[in-house]
Chain A
Amino acid sequence: MLGITVFGLLVLLVISVGLLYKSMPVIKEQSLYDLLFTSSWKPSKDHFGFLTFILSTLRVTFIAILIAVPLSLLSAIYLSEYASERTKKMLSPGIDLLSGIPPVIYGVWGTLVVVPWISDHLAPHFVDFSTGYSVLAGGIVLAIMIIPLIISIIIEVFAAVPQELREVSLSVGATKWQTIKRVLLLKSLPGVLAAVILAISRAFGETIAVLMVCGNFTEIPKSVFDACYPLPALIANNYGEMMSLPNYESALMFAALLLFVIIILFNAGSRLILNHITQRYQL
């Protein structure tokens, strides 16, 4: 067991060192500040500003979580606390199936359904023009992709809450809904947060489905109806092309490094918060 863990950590180390080594040329050429906080993207002039990509990644993920978490939480509450055994038996395989569908299918569905819906029906209410390929489209498709994951983890978390705890609440005359709000959710808070963290990490890295619907446009999106260009899409779209340009490969490696660091920082940060909450409330 220890061996496997150490091996895993080593792989992580090797990847980060490799990425860092490969991105050194572009880091030396431009300051780190320039790379992170400017948005002009001119590979032919040997200038790379990543702000657009960083912001795109964060915004698409944020919207996905905003949509996915409430929906998943409510579905999980329904499935675990209200649904009959029969309904559960019917719906659970469906949820497992959804998490097994390849991302590219979600991407196709996004292009065929979500993108036109945004451009024809939703966007006209808010902005003059939108192709539909947008931050919002990316967020929606991503949300649909991570919902099954969040639901199935939260259901497990709810199942781990002892029945006695619910009965304590019921037996002082609380309704079922009061019991869910005040006891079940409180007790499950760390688990629910862990599910959300996992989903966010997954969302950060999701490439193909998002790439297909978010427009891939190298300008900072002004609204959710504008096109955007997340980091994974940048790498997937361009790696292997235009490699003759000086420092282009190095810049893409830097993009990968950024993604890697964002995910690791995010995970470490949220673990800290999680531990704090668990300790503080002795859950």
Chain B
Amino acid sequence: METNLYSYQFRTESDAVPQRSAPIKLTKLSFPLLRVIDLNVSIQDKQILKDINLQIPEKSITCIIGPSGCGKTTLLRSLNRLHDDNADINITGSVLVDNEDIYGKNVEVTHIRKKMGLLAQRPTVLPMSIFENVAYGPRIHGIRDKRKLYGIVKNQLEAVGLWEEVKDRLKSPAIRLSIGQQQRLCLARGLAVSPEIILGDEATSALDPIATTKIEQLFVSLKKEYSIVLVTHTLRQARRIADYVAFMYMGELIEFGSATEIFTNPKHQLTRDYIGGSFS
């Protein structure tokens, strides 16, 4: 394992992630939280992702961009094994989380998923009260104590700026919240199991501009503590909040780099065209 990673590191530094102006700090023995190695995903024998190699920098926002159908969602879902239930999907390669290959043999999946908060495209609240939505994860992981749960719920609702708005109606059904509030609630629910990574798939596409801004600001403040990976549908959003950008095209990772680089001086012609708006 050790030697393996070692050699991989060499390769990364030389080609997949070339050193640039704002380089990912990679020393030979530093293990990024999340890294994808030679990931291939095929659905019903149709290859969707081809040889993806990617390292997600810690405590920053990485946006995955690319035209519709290029495999962004598929990649994101591969990161916490949400494809598990689909027998049509075949996955090879590895995804290392905290240096553990989540696609390794006999790897237990729940502790991996616990490390990642997932934010879906449309806010999906559980059919329960606001309180129970946030308490759901902690309860699953065995926390029973009322005061402890209350503490967690309060903290997380504060973290997403929802506490003041809902503190008087914690018991009312979550579905009665506005869409924007629901999405923040979903974020709080994900954070309540103390993950290290936040995954978001077009998490603001169902929201109005004001709610979108709120969520974006949240991401920016949350990156102090979490590593955030966002699939985004708008280049503008990536420009606003991304620290790093991964550009995908037809199932391949074309280019990865700091946001400044990708937006001002992309290496690859395809990236340049996409950023320039020649296609979308």
The residues of A that contact B176 with a CB separation of less than 8 Å are 282
The residues of A that contact B111 with a CB separation of less than 8 Å are 173
Query: B137 on the interface (CB 8 Å rule)?
Result: yes
The residues of A that contact B110 with a CB separation of less than 8 Å are 173-175
Q: Is the CB of B186 within 8 A of A171?
A: no
A168 to B140 CA separation, bound complex (whole angstroms): 12
Which of A27-35, A37-45, A159-167 interfaces with chain B? A159-167
Query: B127 on the interface (CB 8 Å rule)?
Result: yes
Q: Taking the nearest CB of chain A, how far is it from the CB of B141, in angstroms? A: 7
Per a CB cutoff under 8 Å, which of A173, A178, A282 touches B114? Answer: A173
Q: Taking the nearest CB of chain B, how far is it from the CB of A279, in angstroms? A: 10
Interface centre among B116, B137, B175, by most chain A C-beta atoms within 10 angstroms, is B137
Q: Is the CB of B136 within 8 A of A169?
A: yes
The residues of A that contact B57 with a CB separation of less than 8 Å are none
The residues of B that contact A173 with a CB separation of less than 8 Å are 110-111, 113-114, 137, 140-141, 193
Find residues 172-220 in chain A having any chain B CB closer than 8 Å to their own CB: 172-175, 178, 182-183, 186-187
Q: Is the CB of B113 within 8 A of A172?
A: yes
Per a CB cutoff under 8 Å, which of B80, B126, B140, B190 touches A178? Answer: B140
Nearest to B186 among chain A residues (CB) is A168
Instruction: Report the count of interface residues on B (CB-CB < 8 A).
Output: 28
The residues of B that contact A183 with a CB separation of less than 8 Å are 126-127
Interface centre among A165, A170, A281, by most chain B C-beta atoms within 10 angstroms, is A170
Query: B120 on the interface (CB 8 Å rule)?
Result: yes
Query: B189 on the interface (CB 8 Å rule)?
Result: yes
Nearest to B113 among chain A residues (CB) is A173
Query: A85 on the interface (CB 8 Å rule)?
Result: yes
Nearest to B124 among chain A residues (CB) is A164
Binary flags per residue of A101-125, CB closer than 8 Å to B gives 1, else 0: 0000000000000000000000000
Q: Taking the nearest CB of chain B, how far is it from the CB of A85, in angstroms? A: 7
Per a CB cutoff under 8 Å, which of B116, B127, B189 touches A282? Answer: B127
A-B CB contacts (within 8 Å), total count: 69
A283-B140 CB under 8 A given contacts A167-B82, A168-B189, A173-B193: no
Q: Is the CB of B173 within 8 A of A281?
A: yes
Binary flags per residue of B166-194, CB closer than 8 Å to A gives 1, else 0: 00000001011000000000100110110
Query: B5 on the interface (CB 8 Å rule)?
Result: no
Nearest to A81 among chain B residues (CB) is B85
The residues of B that contact A162 with a CB separation of less than 8 Å are 124
A162 to B116 CA separation, bound complex (whole angstroms): 21
A114 to B117 CA separation, bound complex (whole angstroms): 53
Query: A275 on the interface (CB 8 Å rule)?
Result: no
Query: B122 on the interface (CB 8 Å rule)?
Result: yes
Query: A84 on the interface (CB 8 Å rule)?
Result: yes
Q: Is the CB of B193 within 8 A of A167?
A: no
A175 to B120 CA separation, bound complex (whole angstroms): 19
Find residues 90-122 in chain B having any chain A CB closer than 8 Å to their own CB: 110-111, 113-114, 116-118, 120, 122
Binary flags per residue of B192-214, CB closer than 8 Å to A gives 1, else 0: 11000000000000000000000
Q: 20 A-B Cβ contacts within 8 A?
A: A167-B118, A168-B118, A168-B120, A168-B126, A168-B189, A169-B126, A171-B113, A171-B116, A171-B118, A171-B190, A172-B113, A172-B140, A172-B189, A172-B190, A173-B137, A173-B141, A175-B110, A186-B127, A281-B128, A282-B127
Nearest to A179 among chain B residues (CB) is B140
Nearest to A173 among chain B residues (CB) is B114
A173 to B193 CA separation, bound complex (whole angstroms): 8
A183 to B139 CA separation, bound complex (whole angstroms): 13
The residues of A that contact B175 with a CB separation of less than 8 Å are 282
Per a CB cutoff under 8 Å, which of A167, A182, A282, A283 touches B120? Answer: A167
The residues of A that contact B113 with a CB separation of less than 8 Å are 170-173
Query: B87 on the interface (CB 8 Å rule)?
Result: yes
The residues of B that contact A175 with a CB separation of less than 8 Å are 110
Q: Taking the nearest CB of chain A, how far is it from the CB of B97, in angstroms? A: 13
A282 to B110 CA separation, bound complex (whole angstroms): 28
Q: Is the CB of A165 within 8 A of B141?
A: no
